[in-house]
Amino acid sequence: AQLGLCRCLRLLGLSSQMKDCAEGALKRWGREAERLRLGACALGAAWRLREWGEVSRLSAEARYVSREGWQSTGCAEALYEFELARALLALRNGETAAVAPHCDSARAALVPLLAAASMESYAHTYSFLVRLQVLQELQAAVPLLSRLEPPDGSPLRIDAAAEAALEETLGQWDARAASMSSSIQALEPVIALRVCLGHELLARLDGFGEAPPSQAAAAGRLRGELHRKLGGCWLRLAKSARAAGNTESAGNALAQARLHDSTLATVQCAEMDWAAGRA
């Protein structure tokens, strides 16, 4: 029941409540399988909240579990969540070489689940394909983030290659979005990752505030483009939630979109009010 509640809170965009729910249940459950699944929920909420100290603490608590232990407890999906969080933490800490091994471990955890689901139907398979897309987009962003974080002692610099790499990454996001399912269940994992990566990119671009004028201007352009893209991600999630009749999820997504692109968020909010008869 607690796992179902955590999943519902994630789809509602209530990551803080999801984390509290999972950690509260962890204090009451003693069986290893349930603890690993609840720990994965708490960890997923922590990286969505970008609480990296909590991500480090929670991910360390399951390091004692071997791969065989994960498989024997039937917690392969939880292993995926742990490895994804560890990959994001490594990226956050500048340990880019550690991202690929964690992503490989996450993929390996999904393989038997994907094989079993493919024997049933495409609908059962799709959620695992979405998770594989999450891992691919995470690894694809590593070179871009590395370009904006030069070696120690080197001056910050945005060159044409870095701008082109960001435009290519954002273009790939748009291309994939066009072929994705519009359900909240399919969109949320991908959008959550893109928002996390977007904030990491924005944090690096903020370091150009005192750079030479040309570099500061380039960083400003890239920040504007990133904010528009992140606003668009949240708006798509809001539209999906609205179409499903989930007004609370839509409202939470609109609140997040307003932080990045207030104009488009206001227009979407007005459309929702009109459809609800509140205009």
Residue 265: predicted pLDDT = 73
Tell me which range, 53-57, 252-256, 265-269, is most confidently predicted by mean pLDDT. 53-57
The pLDDT mean for the chain works out to 83
Q: Which pLDDT tens digit goes with each residue over 254-263?
A: 888 888 888 7
Written as one string, the DSSP assignment of 192-252 is: HHHHHHHHHHHHHHGGGTTS-HHHHHHHHHHHHHHHHHHHHHHHHHHHHHHHTT-HHHHHH
Q: Which pLDDT tens digit goes with each residue over 84-118?
A: 999 999 999 989 899 999 999 999 988 888 888 88
Predicted TM-score of the model (pTM): 0.87
CB atoms within 10 A of CB 203: 14
Distance between CA atoms of 109 and 71, rounded to whole angstroms?
8
Indicate if the pLDDT at residue 63 is higher than 80. Answer: no
Q: Which tokens is 146 given?
A: 């590395």
Q: Tell me which residue has tokens 């922590």.
A: 46
Which of 172, 203, 169 shows the shortest CA–CA distance to 50?
203
